[in-house]
Homo-oligomer: A and B are copies of this chain.
Amino acid sequence: MAGPEDPPTILFVGQHETQRTEAVTPELLYRAQNSGYDLLTAPITTSAFQSRVLETLQEYVKMLNASSEQKDVPLPLLNPLSPEDTNLVPLDSNSSLIAVTSPWIDLASHDPLIAHVSRQVFNLEVAYAAFVGINNILIHGPISSSGTMQYARTLLEGLGMGPYISINVLLPMSGELEQDISADGIHLSELTRPEYAEEVEDVEEGEGETEVYDAWETWNTIRTVCNYSTKLSIALELPRQLPAVNLQSRWYSEPIRLLPLPRTSFWRNGKGFPVLSKQHQQYLTQFLRLRFPPWVLLSDVGAVPSLSNEAAARASSEPTPAEAAADSNEQPLDLIQHLKYMRHLQQSQPTRPPIERFGQGYQDYMQSPLQPLTDNLESITYEVFEKDPVKYEWYERAIALALKDLREKLGEQRKVVVAVVGAGRGPLVTRALQASRSTGIGIQCYAVEKNPNAHVLLQHRNATDPLWNKQVTVVKSDMRTWSGPPTMGGKSGKVDILVSELLGSFADNELSPECLDGVQHVLDPNHGINIPQSYSAHLTPIASPKLHGDLLGRASTDLNMTMAEKWELPYVVMLHQFDYLSTVQPSAEDPRTPVVQEAWSFWHPISTNILDLAKSRADGHIDAGGHLGGDGTNEHNSRSCKVTFRCAHRGVCHGIGGYFETVLYSSPTSGQKIELSTNPVTMADKSKDMISWFPIFFPLKTPIYVPDDAEMEVSMWRQTDDRKAWYEWIVDVYIRMGSRRMKLGGSDLHSCRRNGCLM
Contacts and interface: CB of A to CB of B under 8 A. Distances in A.
Given A609-B73, A627-B120, A743 B204 contact: no
Contact of A749 (B224, B636, B705, B728): B224
A217 B705 contact: no
Nearest to A626: B123
Interface string A120-134: 100110010000000
A642 to B, nearest CB: 7
A718 to B, nearest CB: 12
A745 B127 CA distance: 33
A127 to B, nearest CB: 8
Interface string A146-178: 000110011011000000000000000000000
A743 B148 CA distance: 14
Given A149-B642, A617-B77, A624-B80, A227 B610 contact: no
A739 B204 CA distance: 6
A625 B650 CA distance: 41
Contacts of A75: 635-636
A71 interface: yes
A77 B627 contact: no
Interface string A715-745: 1010000000000101000000101111111
Contacts of A622: 77, 79
A607 B741 contact: no
A207 interface: yes
Contacts of A412: none
Interface in A504-543: none
A744 B628 CA distance: 36
A22 interface: no
A410 interface: no
A6 interface: no
Given A77-B617, A749-B224, A744 B741 contact: no
Contacts of A386: none
Contacts of A632: 77
B623 A728 contact: no
A680 interface: no
A78 B625 CA distance: 9
A741 B201 contact: yes
A617 B78 CA distance: 12
Interface in A19-78: 69, 71-75, 77-78
B717 A749 contact: no
B707 A744 contact: yes
A650 B748 contact: no
Which of A78, A150, A745 neighbours the largest number of chain B CB atoms within 10 Å of its CB?
A745
A704 interface: yes
A389 interface: no
A204 B609 contact: no
Copies in the complex: 2
A627 B119 contact: yes
A746 interface: yes
Nearest to A122: B627
Given A642-B149, A730-B149, A741-B203, A749 B156 contact: yes
Given A78-B624, A702-B702, A708 B224 contact: no
A72 B744 CA distance: 41
Contacts of A746: 221, 224, 705
Given A201-B741, A707-B744, A746-B705, A72 B607 contact: yes
Contacts of A202: 739
B737 A737 contact: yes
A640 interface: yes
A585 interface: no
B744 A207 contact: no
Given A77-B617, A705-B746, A741-B203, A624 B72 contact: no
A74 B124 contact: no
Contacts of A80: 623-625
A210 interface: yes
Interface in A193-219: 201-204, 207, 210, 217
Contacts of A123: 625, 627
Contacts of A11: none
Which of A71, A150, A702 neighbours the largest number of chain B CB atoms within 10 Å of its CB?
A702
Contact of A743 (B609, B614, B705): B705
A435 to B, nearest CB: 29
A624 B607 CA distance: 80
Contacts of A741: 201, 203
B624 A79 contact: yes
Contacts of A743: 217, 650, 705, 707
A613 interface: yes
A225 interface: yes
A594 to B, nearest CB: 23
A225 B729 CA distance: 10
Contacts of A625: 80, 120, 123-124, 127
A728 B156 CA distance: 12
B207 A740 contact: yes
B207 A613 contact: no
Given A623-B80, A739-B203, A609 B704 contact: no
Given A157-B628, A624-B77, A707 B742 contact: yes
A221 B744 CA distance: 12
Nearest to A110: B642
Nearest 3 pairs of A and B residues by beta carbon: A72-B607, A77-B624, A705-B745
